[in-house]
């Protein structure tokens, strides 16, 4: 089974609203990463948060990490129609430095103008 599980699977909001996506994982991690994928394209990295960090910001993006609950959240504030995409979390959880990177199933976000 996949390491990262995302919730919700789909989210539809109006432009200007905030969007929150959650990711849960099963084993201890080195870091957790969030990616965005526009339809028909490859994934693009958004934010990486390390296991000793609790929160990171990048523009309108805010990521939190709770290692005690094995969960992370991605908040997009003041959403825009251009934020419409699929969002994935990925966990780097391998302690032997082989770099194994596992993705969740993703959240599909639709932002209506």
Partner 1 sequence: DAGITQSPRHKVTETGTPVTLRCHQTENHRYMYWYRQDPGHGLRLIHYSYGVKDTDKGEVSDGYSVSRSKTEDFLLTLESATSSQTSVYFCAVRSMNTEAFFGQGTRLTVV
Binding site for partner 1 (CB under 8 A): 2, 6, 30-31, 33, 35, 41-45, 48, 50, 88, 90, 92, 97-106
Rounded least distance, CB 90 to partner 1, Å: 7
C-alpha 37: how far from its chain's center?
Answer: 11
Rounded least distance, CB 38 to partner 1, Å: 12
Q: Is the link from the previous residue into 97 a cis peptide, with omega within 30 of 0?
A: no
Q: Which is nearer to partner 1, 34 or 111 (by Cβ)?
A: 34
Rounded least distance, CB 101 to partner 1, Å: 6
Q: Which is nearer to partner 1, 15 or 94 (by Cβ)?
A: 94
What sign has the CA pseudo-torsion 59, 37, 47, 32? Answer: positive
What percent of the residues of the chain are helix, what percent strand, and what percent coil, each to the nearest 5? Answer: 5, 55, 40
């Amino acid at each position: 089974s996949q390491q990262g599980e995302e919730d919700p699977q789909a989210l539809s909001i109006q432009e200007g609203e905030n969007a929150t996506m959650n990711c849960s994982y099963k084993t201890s991690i080195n870091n957790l990463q969030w990616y965005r994928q526009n339809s028909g394209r490859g994934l693009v990295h958004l934010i990486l948060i390390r296991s000793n960090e609790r929160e990171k910001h990048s523009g309108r993006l805010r990521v939190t990490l709770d290692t005690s609950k094995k969960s992370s959240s991605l908040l997009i504030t003041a959403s825009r129609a251009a934020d419409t995409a699929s969002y994935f979390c990925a966990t780097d959880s391998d302690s032997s430095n082989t770099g194994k990177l596992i993705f969740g199933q993703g959240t599909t976000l639709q932002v209506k103008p």
